[in-house]
Amino acid sequence: MIQIKNLNKTFHPNTTRAFTALDKITLTIKANQLIILKGVSGSGKSTLLSIIASLQKPTSGELLVEGEAIAKLPDLHASHFRAATIGFIPQSFNLFDSFTVWENVSLALIPLGFSPKEIRQKTQKALEIAQISHKKDALVSNLSGGEKQRTAIARALVNDAKIILCDEPTANLDSENSKKFIMIIEQLKKLGKTIIIATHDPLFDSLSFVDSVINMEEGKIL
Ligand SMILES: Nc1ncnc2c1ncn2[C@@H]1O[C@H](COP(=O)(O)OP(=O)(O)O)[C@@H](O)[C@H]1O
Ligand SMILES: [Mg+2]
């Protein structure tokens, strides 16, 4: 599903500010696996997720997502590929505060060319899986942190993405919302999703349905 070989990311290359955030990362993630990416702040977790999501390009190395060398695609093709294949739940959620939950989720389908009926059905289904359909008409600005996160999960699911990436999902959640998040992730795993969660929350250490914990330190996999 995801194959990474000798991947490097250097910010400001060839300058005195050059900084290597990812250093020869090699990693294979199979379909339907749930992977926990651990490591202290600054170890490169978010950078790795954003490269897998093709939000930025690596400096060198190989990256195949579903057999596609996404880092080599032109930006427009990469963003189409992302819209159809990847659900990304960023740490800050990146929702539109003055839009409703329903609007935030259904907007993600617009670039994919679905009919209005398909958009309604897919949006409803994603809201149900993410346990937020009861708030579908609420403005995002009026939601709690946990509700915002479930809206971001619904948006990540609405395109039937096979791959779900989450960045520090429990960083701003209380323990009840964190447990709810974990139950939703367990369900996504049952639905066949391939999931990568970047976190340093020990809550994820002892989950029976985690396939592998990958430890990162200073841009390297230990
Ligand atoms: N756009 C950027 N320009 C320069 N340095 C960056 C940039 N993005 C991230 N970094 C640096 O790369 C390192 C890894 O960052 P990040 O991937 O966000 O780590 P983590 O998510 O594990 O906290 C950090 O030292 C960070 O400061
Ligand atoms: Mg991070």
Domains of the chain: 2-221 (3.40.50.300)
Tell me how far the alpha carbon of residue 44 lies from the centroid of ligand 1, in angstroms. 6
- CB of 41 within 6 A of ligand 1: the answer is yes
Q: pLDDT of the chain along its 222 residues, tens only?
A: 999 999 999 999 999 999 999 999 999 999 999 999 999 999 999 999 999 999 999 999 999 999 989 888 888 888 888 888 999 999 999 999 999 999 999 999 988 889 999 999 999 999 999 999 999 999 999 999 999 999 999 999 999 999 999 999 998 899 999 999 999 999 999 999 999 999 988 889 889 999 999 999 999 999
Q: How far is the CA of 145 from the centre of ligand 2 (A)?
A: 18
**What's the gap in Å between 151 CA and the centre of ligand 1?**
26
Give CB contacts under 8 A, 24+ apart, made by 23-28: 23/218, 23/219, 23/220, 24/61, 24/220, 25/61, 25/219, 25/220, 25/221, 26/221, 27/2, 27/3, 27/214, 27/221, 28/2, 28/3, 28/4
Quote the ligand 2 centre to 124 CA distance (angstroms).
Answer: 30
Ligand minimally distant from the alpha carbon of residue 50: 1
With a 6 A CB cut-off, is 50 part of the ligand 1 pocket? no
Q: Which ligand is nearest to the CA of 220?
A: 1
